[in-house]
Structure 1
């Protein structure tokens, strides 16, 4: 497939010189000098050549500007933009204003993609004319279970974005700016494709924006009511409360509950606030319209049923112990599997299930 991608794909989808590129890759940048060169290289080296690369420098104080300018000097496909430090949402939105590609891909400045990443995904769009393509095996498996994805897991039709020009990254919101953005897109279309083959190399390090932001629990707690206000306005303006209530329930379970309440180091007063906030929104706007067959997880339902966060935390502590006991027991039983390769796969599946 790689040979077919590099030799035939660009011919198959060939456009005349001067026509729009197939994909616009938008990369917001803030103090990313350590990894930025490698990130840009991975996009420049794509087997899909007819692309543009939009670098948006969000007021970096390091050498990111110099790296961008040097790359742009040697590659006519690169568009370099500068702005004062206004945040990742404005950087992405400004990049989108300059984009001319048929499809849009938002990438982080410290990650890399395999050389066939865009060619595999773009081929799917040409076969199915999708509004959105979900990328990566992990996210494709969760497509029916989660109502929001990171933007680096999505290739988005530019026409689809033009037709919904009110759906943009919410200014002043981080984290969850990409979750709110993708959630809205998924609510507005069923024309969603899947590409489990392409691999995005997500780099974990201490200076990542989301790591720094999530450490500031007070800031996150202050922003979550704004998420709910954004959702309320979107669902009201688009008349979606009746038709997409399960979609909204999945978002509430995934973002403020799983990602924030369960995983962030909130203190007791913050937990109390968030528990009451989520319960109120769910009981006021979601649960009255949610059908019995539109399920939410057992843990989230228990969270909503508990009178206070102490009650839920006690339950959840016991639940985690039970899950760990099950995991260890299944790993022990897997030792009887004679084939090592199959045994390893089974253990990986067990660890993933009980992660």
Structure 2
């Protein structure tokens, strides 16, 4: 059960609610909270939700809650990041909501600049940061660090919350469903988020647990099936669903995770069955052209061995073409143009 420490939140409207789920991050939490306190925007609240930390994280949270009336602290038994974010959201009173990971930081104009863009054009969702903005229009999900959300959108769809018991992909499933419910989506590629990499991060550990991920992917697909069915949007949003499947279980899992041959076969069959049953019947020829070359070959392959053989050859050719492209750039005499072309080439070949 959650316990309130200090003054109750929700008494007055603020511009942005920053929800921070906290779990065993005593080394980084001070810096994370300070990055919010140092924001150019001052009209915010910070909602700290301690998810049963076993270090001094809760003590740090309480300290900040006692020093600044804009900071609220909640304590819960360990139940996972989805529960912590959902609990924090239930207390948020901001016009917009932002979820910040407790070991990362944001630059001082992050909130003010993003809020200005969102309010100017009344966006429901604002994509934050060049890495995510650059994926448009193929973008159908983002991590929480890349999304500013209008609270009224969340209030309108109370069933769209972080799925409990699922990690990774909990943020992808959350954001994807929001993308389906609004076309009022804007972009702030200049937003700077400082992502801290360390060995204790959950996703670093989880992404090595292939058997665990393989057990969870059917839950992802079932959650999507139910949501699309309840909202009767399979036909109208088929391309968005195909792009989600392409990015999350195909690109980030099948392609990038170290599954063994048997696990690859299971995942291949699982994704093929889902696409054939719920997505491909609604895709037009034009929709298929939007999908990446590897994913189109994946869908056309008869078995996982057929696709894996294609993909090895595909990657070899891509690597060769990447090196060849960089080689010719060095002969361009204008340095600024060389830099720009190198950036464009790296961005092009960063996509699967």
Q: What's the TM-score bracket when you normalise by the shorter of the two chains?
A: over 0.9
- Report the counterpart of residue 320 of structure 1 in structure 2: 315
Question: Whole-Å Cα distance in 2 between the matches of residues 312 and 269 of structure 1?
Answer: 14
- Report the counterpart of residue 262 of structure 1 in structure 2: 255
What TM-score, normalized by structure 2, do the two folds share? 0.94
Match among 331, 335, 344 for residue 340 of structure 1: 335
Task: For residue 166 of structure 1, report the CA deviation from its aligned partner.
Answer: 0.7
- Report the counterpart of residue 89 of structure 1 in structure 2: 82
Matches within 5 A, 1:278-293: 278-293=271-286
Per-residue displacement from partner, 1:126-181 (whole Å, max 9, x unpaired)? 21111111111221121211211111101101111001001000010100000000
- Report the counterpart of residue 33 of structure 2 in structure 1: 40
Task: For residue 19 of structure 1, report the CA deviation from its aligned partner.
Answer: 3.4
Question: Whole-Å Cα distance in 2 between the matches of residues 200 and 323 of structure 1?
Answer: 30
Match among 45, 49, 52 for residue 45 of structure 2: 52
Question: Whole-Å Cα distance in 1 between the matches of residues 191 and 139 of structure 2?
Answer: 20
SS of equivalent to 2:127: strand
Contact 2:12 2:93 in 1 (8 A): no
Matches within 5 A, 1:141-290: 141-290=134-283
SS of equivalent to 2:324: helix
What TM-score, normalized by structure 1, do the two folds share? 0.93
Task: For residue 342 of structure 1, report the CA deviation from its aligned partner.
Answer: 2.2
Question: Whole-Å Cα distance in 1 between the matches of residues 164 and 309 of structure 2?
Answer: 37
The CA RMSD over aligned residues, in Å, is 1.0
Matches within 5 A, 1:16-35: 19-35=12-28
- The alignment status of 1:75 with 2:65, answered yes or no, reads no
Question: Whole-Å Cα distance in 2 between the matches of residues 251 and 146 of structure 1?
Answer: 8
Question: Whole-Å Cα distance in 2 between the matches of residues 350 and 179 of structure 1?
Answer: 27
Match among 78, 89, 102 for residue 109 of structure 1: 102
Question: Whole-Å Cα distance in 2 between the matches of residues 330 and 321 of structure 1?
Answer: 14
**How many residues are treated as equivalent by the alignment?**
338
- Report the counterpart of residue 14 of structure 1 in structure 2: none
Question: Whole-Å Cα distance in 1 between the matches of residues 228 and 261 of structure 2?
Answer: 31
Question: Whole-Å Cα distance in 2 between the matches of residues 82 and 110 of structure 1?
Answer: 18
Runs of 4+ in 1 over 4 A off after TM superposition: none
Per-residue displacement from partner, 1:189-227 (whole Å, max 9, x unpaired)? 001111111111111221111111111111110000000
- Report the counterpart of residue 346 of structure 2 in structure 1: 351
- The alignment status of 1:301 with 2:299, answered yes or no, reads no
Unaligned runs of 5+ in 2: 1-10
Question: Whole-Å Cα distance in 2 between the matches of residues 57 and 317 of structure 1?
Answer: 44
Task: For residue 33 of structure 1, report the CA deviation from its aligned partner.
Answer: 1.1
Per-residue displacement from partner, 1:70-95 (whole Å, max 9, x unpaired)? 12121111111111110000000000
Contact 2:26 2:55 in 1 (8 A): yes
- The alignment status of 1:123 with 2:116, answered yes or no, reads yes
